[in-house]
Amino acid sequence: MKGVIVDYRIDTVEKFNLEKLGYEVIIVPPSRVLYEAVSGHPDMLLHIVNKDTIIIHKDMEAVFIKKLEAYNYSVLVSDNKLQNNYPFDIILNAVNLPKIFIHNIKYTDSKLLHFLKEKNLKNVKQGYSKCSTAIISNAAIITSDIGIAESAEEENIDVLLLPPGDILLPGLNYGFIGGCCGLLEDDLLAFYGSLDYYAYGKEVLGFLKKHNVKPVFLRNGKLIDRGSIFRIYNL
């Protein structure tokens, strides 16, 4: 059994195309405290620590927790509560790779920090680290944040640094590259929208080809930030 965790505002066409690929589409319940534009974004509401453990924000609905447990994950609750104002909304919004962890460490939830003792912690100013970062592989990322890019490159991660903008996020000026996509498999990256409508689509396509990752476009049209797509497996 394999599933994807998505924002409750997922388009019907996007949902259909994920299901057609064989994934159970799992809607994450929105937070009542976050501002509307990001209230249902998975990268704000939970953090997949590893293949066994997921940390969810403190006020997550019990029905959603049971859904994750059905995939054989240990589901832990964050030590801190999400709050509407920055930086208290970023407690779980971090880039977590096998050897490094990139975030504004001062505000990382202490429950999450407990799992990072063997990793190199890279502190950056960008609190919305996962929103700002598309993970292509354990050795490659795409971001529009210079601090994240420099931190990753210091650890020999290949980085495609793009200008910000040209990604929709209703209610805000623009969205982020990490929030409009997510790996379905190690070699398959799904996008909310199509790179054909993205100003830097050719650059992204070239970078994906370099790392042997194929794009799948869940909908025709401009990229939209709905929060990262997270895959989970019943192993």
Helix/strand/coil (H/E/C) assignment for every residue in 80-141: CCCCCCCCCCCCCCCEECCCEEEECHHHCCHHHHCCCCCCEEEECCCCCCCCCEEEEECCEE
What was the pLDDT predicted at 234? 85
Provide the pLDDT confidence category of residue 235 given band limits of 50, 70 and 90. Answer: low
- CATH T-level topology, domain 2-233: L-arginine/glycine Amidinotransferase; Chain A (3.75.10)
Is residue 228 within 8 Å of 43, Cβ to Cβ?
A: yes
Place of tokens 């029905």: 63
Count Cβ atoms below 10 Å from residue 200 Cβ, excluding itself: 19
Provide the pLDDT confidence category of residue 157 given band limits of 50, 70 and 90. Answer: very high
Q: What confidence tens digit (pLDDT) does each residue in 179-217 have?
A: 999 999 999 999 999 999 999 999 999 999 999 999 999
Q: Where are the domains of the chain?
A: 2-233
Cβ within 8 Å of residue 204, ≥6 positions away: 142, 160, 162, 195, 198, 215
What was the pLDDT predicted at 29? 97
User: Across residues 155-175, what is the average pLDDT?
Assistant: 97
Is the per-residue pLDDT at 33 higher than 70? yes
